[in-house]
Amino acid sequence: MNAPVKTGHEDGRVELSFADNRLLPLLFGEHEQYLARVEKQLAVKLVTRGNILTIAGNSQGRDAAQAVFSALWERLRAGLSVGPAEVDAAVRMAISADLPSAGQGLAQFADPNGAIRTKRKVIAPRSATQARYLEALNENELVFGLGPAGTGKTYLAVAQAVSLLLQGKVDRIILSRPAVEAGERLGFLPGDMKDKVDPYLRPLYDALHDMMPADQVAKRMETGVIEVAPLAFMRGRTLAHAFVILDEAQNTTPMQMKMFLTRMGDGSRMVVTGDVTQIDLPSGTKSGLKEALSILRGVEGVGFVEFSDQDVVRHPLVGRIVRAYDAAQRAQTAANAEERR
């Protein structure tokens, strides 16, 4: 099976010819729903005739559509799945303004030999920023992943941790969160300390189970190879040969953040994720994540990757919700500034 063959026309149309008709239903989707999805997002016209896909539209749309279907085709050739989420991911990277990362991301998305492999799945980037993030995770001992919910910053960090554990490059995984959420406190919850903190750590458990069979997760947690704990339990420890993730780091105090970062031992890697627009600390309390960002930029071995609402890979409506809230916040900030004048 060969890559799609491109031919051009004087009127600007582009034709892609695919060599294996058996894969075309998977490429175009049931009732050609993926074609309609790409047409809507890229403002192009797509017409199929046998194994030939004709792309009409402006040059930018044609180039993006060609990149999308070439990447999806390569995924199918590699035996990987293609669904609505994959179509949207390919479009997202094809139209990204960050061309180097977008190209790298599409390459990993299409042929994910360089992507993250775990027991249950192969995880390739679904946005240009995710491609930069995976690169940062490979190159730096400490990485800050910043941005709104739904961008994959925690999920990809857990995937990288599981991958390195399975390769024997780290001996254990430690996942942590500050036990602060939306102004609530642990005391009102029933049960012992584990029962109280588990609800706050549930997203980390969910990510783990998406990477590994449940029995393997349970076995590794029993032996301490995988540990999920609130941030307070990190004090006084030295974490050697471990992959350590601090999630929801915007809810740390400066003292907690310094305490966490100085736990790093030999052979360890750390990832700190958070969204500085979603701080749930008591009013007047400074965020340790904000302080760390101002102090550590430029320090060798520390990587920073910032996601935006354009990188949201959950339901498309989530991205629109994030943008709406951001717009409302900007309007409120401008109104407050006007009142102070």
CATH classification at residue 220: 3.40.50.300
Whether residue 174 is found in the same domain as residue 45: no
Q: What is the pLDDT of residues 53-72, one digit of tens each?
A: 999 999 889 989 999 999 99
Chain position carrying tokens 């943008």: 323
Mean pLDDT of the region 110-137: 80
CA distance 254 to 236: 16
Query: What is the band of 46 on the pLDDT scale with cuts at 50, 70, 90?
Result: very high
CB-based burial label for 110 (10 Å; 0-12, 13-18, 19+): buried
> E strands within 77-159?
116-117, 122-123, 142-146
Residues 124 and 254 in one domain: yes
- The pLDDT value recorded for residue 48 is 93
* Domain carrying residue 182: 115-336
Q: Are residues 181 and 307 in the same domain?
A: yes
Asked if residue 86 and residue 123 are part of one domain, the reply reads: no
- On whether both 22 and 132 belong to a single domain, the answer is no
Residue 102 lies in a domain: no
pLDDT in tens, 187-229: 554 555 555 556 767 788 888 998 999 999 999 999 999 998 8
pLDDT, residue 26, reads 94
**Over 70: is that where the pLDDT of 90 sits?**
yes
Answer yes or no: are the C-beta atoms of 237 and 248 closer than 8 Å: no
Per-residue tokens: 153: 């910053």
- 185 pLDDT more than 70: no
Question: For position 3, what pLDDT does the model report?
Answer: 65
In this prediction, residue 327 has a pLDDT band, given cuts at 50, 70 and 90, of confident
Q: 127 with 156, same domain? A: yes
- Averaged pLDDT, 238-260: 94
Report which of 254, 211, 238, 56 is spatially closest to residue 119, judged by C-alpha positions: 211
Residue 331 has what pLDDT? 83
Contact, 91 vs 41, CB < 8 A? yes
Amino acid at 139: E
Residue 65 lies in a domain: yes
Whether 97 has a pLDDT exceeding 80, the answer reads no
What b/e readout covers 91-100, taking b as 16+ CB neighbours within 10 angstroms?
bbbbbbebee
In angstroms, what is the C-alpha Rg of the chain? 22
pLDDT for position 100:
54
Same domain, 25 and 161: no
As a whole-number percent, the residues of the chain with pLDDT over 90 amount to 46
Give the span between the Cα atoms of 47 and 243, in whole angstroms: 48
Closest of 214, 213, 242 to residue 229, by C-alpha: 242
* Mean pLDDT score across all residues of the chain: 84
- Report the pLDDT value the prediction gives residue 275, as an integer from 0 to 100: 94
Residues 320 and 214 in one domain: yes
The mean pLDDT of 173-179, rounded to a whole number, is 88
Domain boundary pick from 95, 128, 155:
95
In three-state secondary structure terms, 121 is: coil
| Count of the separate structural domains present in the chain | 2
Same domain, yes or no: 81 and 137: no
